[in-house]
Structure 1
Amino acid sequence: MLYNQEFLDRLENSIRAALPQWAMPETASVRLLTISENATYLAENGDTRMIIRVHRPAYHTREQILSELAWIEALRRDGVVETPEPIPTVDGALLTSFSDGDTERFAVAFTYLKGSEPDADAEGAKWYGKLGEINARLHAHAKMWQKPAGFDRKVWNFDTILGERAYWGDWRAAMGLTADGKAILEKVHTRLASKLAAYGEEPDRFGLVHCDMRAANLLVDGNRLAVIDFDDCGMSWFAYDFAAAISFLEADPVAPTLQDAWVEGYRRVAPFSAKDEAALPMFVMLRRMQLTAWLASHSETPTAETLGTGFTDGTVALAERYLSR
């Protein structure tokens, strides 16, 4: 229960005190935007706007955050994707921190980027086609980019997604999971472990990915599609980027349309084999179970409070359909 109101009030006061590090007065407006793994705020002073992200403790190290920012800067420099620019402090540092009792909180700032979340139902095919193109460019860049010394990001494989070292907790702790539901998900767990081992982690299918391009991390402005929040970027399957892109839409009737559009968009830029396309339902199921675990381990977040046990029931229903195939 990290993100209670007392903590958020304390966090806002700390952010205000840190604003001069980015040449913004402490009297600037500070407003909470989202709570997920981290807490994200909008700071405004006159016409100046910036996004401040305060990292959840004990999730990313200093080196991991700086590695994320290094990739963002490389993607911007090489014109791969439109994404907010990291803002250095007046001392030139991209990462700062402040004390919260005995805990050190890391914070980073980004330029404000105008836009809104795309409507998957209204123009889903259009935006997910563009997203497929973006993913193809990102993956091509990841394959050729020379990572800087000390680069360090999490590895998202079966073990860290659903296995013994799962970063987001155990799906078995899912809210409202029944004995029958658990038995179904255990079967899926076993099947996914086997199929992912067979699919493999060769460099042509496993590398540096965004890993969280869900609709909430996309910004539409006119015909422009921008991507934000590289906080979960790391080493994983390239095809997993699609599964992340339809997070919380897996069972929606629009999901097949979004998949077709994404694959078509990807192939406009780079090859995407029939084998990789056939593996997409496997990755969608993997992601859904990971999200189910995340909701259980982040029960204090608005997302978990909103979705509740209904999301667990939906995961079981999706698992039954997956097993029937």
Structure 2
Amino acid sequence: MAGLYDEGFTERLRQGALSLRHEWGLGPDADVRLLTLSENATFLASDPGRAPIILRVHRPAYHTLAEIESELAWIETLRASGAIDTPAPLTLASGGHVAQFSDGNDTRHVVGFAFMPGDEPSAGESLAPGFELLGAISARLHRQAQGWQPPQGFTRKTWDFDSAFGAQPLWGDWRAALGLDDEGRAVLETLCDVLKRKLDDYGKGADRFGLVHADLRLANLLQDGDKLGVIDFDDCGFSWFIYDFAAAISFYETEPYIPALQAAWLKGYRTIAPLDAEHEAMIPSFVMFRRLLLTAWIASHAETQTAADAGHGAYTAGTVALAKAYLQAEA
């Protein structure tokens, strides 16, 4: 990989994770290998005679220790309630859930999770039954979040218009998008104006805004027979509940089967909780919100494999085309 994510970088993180193996009871013969690298680095740790575990090495200067611990607190609550199937955070030998090692001038936090079997679902029309399951999962998540009193000190980021597109956007400025020309910039400026107005009108009432997973895309789902597990709560935070559907179709927003997936998601959701027409009507706006947010992420993480897979400038062009169609439909 180019840029920051070269082999030396990933090996340094692997060695850092390996140096902490005793915290999860791994022996000297444990093998640690890279699974994925996007924002965080995720490793599979295997040790003869025991089940494998997942180690997540956090990027620095993004989540605080309190934010990471808050994520794990919600996961444990969700597991206890039976709302979803998600891997358990693992307790360290020294106590707590978050280990750390020094990486130059940075401190890297590391979290261990139990291994969950399953495969990432494949994109396509055959996803519809899975999206019905995902709709029900989303509704259970939202219902649990609405009735849960977080512990003192609970803190997670907020995914709203200001944090996404304001003066200090969490994932960077979409105006730096790769291949964006003056015409495309004008379209996306208009999109921002429309999104802000619609989101302000929609509001943040308790029936529509709360704690969400915020990244239920295919890469964070594990299909095992008729079961659908959810992983990677790293982006969980406070946002609109419908945003979880928009995140679920990340990088596939223009595919012709999206309406079928939306219908399946809504059907599944409504088996658990009501969702009236006002919320359903906001789905296209949240799809554009997520698409523009990802366009900013790709621009600020151009060296990652995720950005390369998305097509860099081609993804920007697709965002502009999708925005034009959205604005025409909203006119």
TM normalised by structure 1 equals 0.98
Q: 2:229 aligns to what? A: 226
Tell me how far 1:13 sits from its aligned partner: 1.0
Q: Distance in 1 between matches of 2:78 and 2:322?
A: 35
Where in structure 2 are there 5+ consecutive unaligned residues? none
Counterpart residue identity of residue 114, structure 1: P
Residue deviations 1:187-224 (CA, integer Å, cap 9, x gap): 10111011111110111100000000001100000000
SS at match of 1:225: strand
Matched, 1:86 2:89: yes
Q: 1:318 aligns to what? A: 322
Q: Distance in 2 between matches of 1:15 and 1:94?
A: 14
Matched, 1:110 2:113: yes
Residue deviations 1:133-160 (CA, integer Å, cap 9, x gap): 0000000000011111100000111001
Is this contact kept in 2: 1:17–1:26, CA < 8 A? Answer: no
Is this contact kept in 2: 1:16–1:26, CA < 8 A? Answer: no
Q: Distance in 2 between matches of 1:24 and 1:169?
A: 38
Q: 1:150 aligns with which of 137, 142, 153?
A: 153
Which structure 1 residue ranges, 4+ long, deviate > 4 Å from structure 2?
none
Q: 1:138 aligns with which of 123, 138, 141?
A: 141
Is this contact kept in 2: 1:4–1:300, CA < 8 A? Answer: no
Identity in percent? 52
Where in structure 1 are there 5+ consecutive unaligned residues? none
Is this contact kept in 2: 1:168–1:297, CA < 8 A? Answer: yes
Is this contact kept in 1: 2:125–2:260, CA < 8 A? Answer: no
Tell me how far 1:315 sits from its aligned partner: 0.5
Matched, 1:41 2:43: yes
Q: 2:57 aligns with which of 54, 58, 62?
A: 54
Counterpart residue identity of residue 153, structure 2: G
Is this contact kept in 1: 2:59–2:108, CA < 8 A? Answer: yes
1:158-307 equivalences under 5 Å are 158-306=161-309, 307=311
**Equivalences, count:** 325
Is this contact kept in 2: 1:185–1:319, CA < 8 A? Answer: yes
Is this contact kept in 2: 1:156–1:234, CA < 8 A? Answer: yes
Q: 2:33 aligns to what? A: 31
Residue deviations 1:50-83 (CA, integer Å, cap 9, x gap): 0000101000000000000000000000100000
Q: Distance in 2 between matches of 1:103 and 1:236?
A: 29
